Each structure stands twice: as structure tokens, then as C-alpha cells.
A = this chain, B = another copy of it.
Amino acid sequence: MNDKQEIILDRFTQLCKAHGLKITPQRMAVYNALKTSKEHPSADKIHKQLVCDFPSISLDTVNRTLITFARIQIIDVVEGQGEPRRFDPNREDHHHFYCLSCNKIIDFHDPDLGQIQLPKEITCTFTITGKRLCLTGYCDHCSHQAPARAADITK
């Protein structure tokens, strides 16, 4: 285990205690796998990755654990398009680009976009808990393969 992982797991221990969750090897593994991910993995992807080192871990536990983490707000769930639910280790304010071809979800940041003013009829009527710009299109890799393709929702 490297330094970065150790810091992540120390923080994890604090968070669990603060929320009355038991610290189990399964939870540590799931937390570590998601937080060191540079992507937006599904429960199944995390499970497949963990099974090598932790053969007995079940998919249900991975999924349930991720949902628990989202509930106590130490990770996020991202908007998709009907595909498997995906999770986001990054809780900073940021925006998403969705590649319609390879299904990658790519983060981007923009200080200007943080300033976005919402119309009053929205802010007064609803309780807003999240605000994000969602772009769709084709990533650099996929645009090269198939330029000017129409959106194909079934991949």
C-alpha cells in the first residue's frame, strides 16, 4: 500500500465512524477502488476489479456499499442514459462530458460555470442540491473513428 492509499483509508475510517458504519475489509476495498479510479465505474466494474484480490466479495455487497457511500455523501452517483448506474469518486464541483459512442464520462472544470445564475422561478420553487453542466457528443478518440455520426442510443 502506498502513501496515497494510506491517506485515503485513514480518511475513510474517520468517515465511517462519524456515520456509525462498521469498518469492514469489503468497504475498505470498495472505497479504495473507487477513490483511486480516474473513471466513473459501475458497480459491476468495481466488483470485477476487486475479485482478483478478494475472491469472495459479492456483487451485491459492492453495489450496496456504493449506495451506502452515496447516501452518506462521500461519493456521488452520476447521471447516465439508462445504462448501468455509475459512481463518481470526485465530489468537487465539476461538469461532465458523455461520449455517446464509448460511454466514457469525462470530467471538466470551469470557474466561470460555477457562477451560473439560475432563474428565480427555479431557486424559489425547488430545493437545489446539485448543479452541473452535461455535455454529450463524441470524444477525441471516437470522433476520429466515425465523424458526423448521429446519436445512437443503443451504442
Residues on A lying within 8 angstroms of B by beta carbon are: 67, 70-73, 77-86, 97-100, 106, 108, 110, 112-113, 116-119, 121-122, 125-140, 143, 147, 150-154
From known contacts A79-B134, A81-B85, A121-B108, infer whether A127 and B143 are also in contact, taking CB-CB under 8 Å: yes
A71 to B149, CA, bound (A): 10
Chain B residue numbers with a CB within 8 Å of A86 are 82
| Candidates B82, B135, B147; contact of A80 at CB < 8 Å | B82
Q: Are B140 and A125 within 8 A (Cβ)? A: yes
A122's partner among B67, B71, B99, B108 (CB-CB below 8 A) is B108
Q: Helix, strand, loop or mixed for chain A's interface?
A: mixed
Copies of this chain in its oligomeric complex: 2
A153: chain B residues at CB < 8 Å are 67, 70-71, 77, 85
- A136 adjacent to B130 (CB under 8 Å): yes
Q: Please determine whether B129 and A138 come into contact, CB atoms closer than 8 angstroms.
A: yes
Q: Complex formed: what's the CA distance from A119 to B110 in Å?
A: 7
Report chain B residues within 8 Å CB of A121: 108
Given contacts A67-B153, A70-B151, A80-B81, 15 further A-B contacts (CB under 8 A): A67-B154, A70-B153, A77-B82, A77-B153, A79-B80, A80-B82, A82-B82, A82-B84, A97-B122, A125-B140, A126-B138, A129-B136, A130-B137, A131-B133, A133-B134
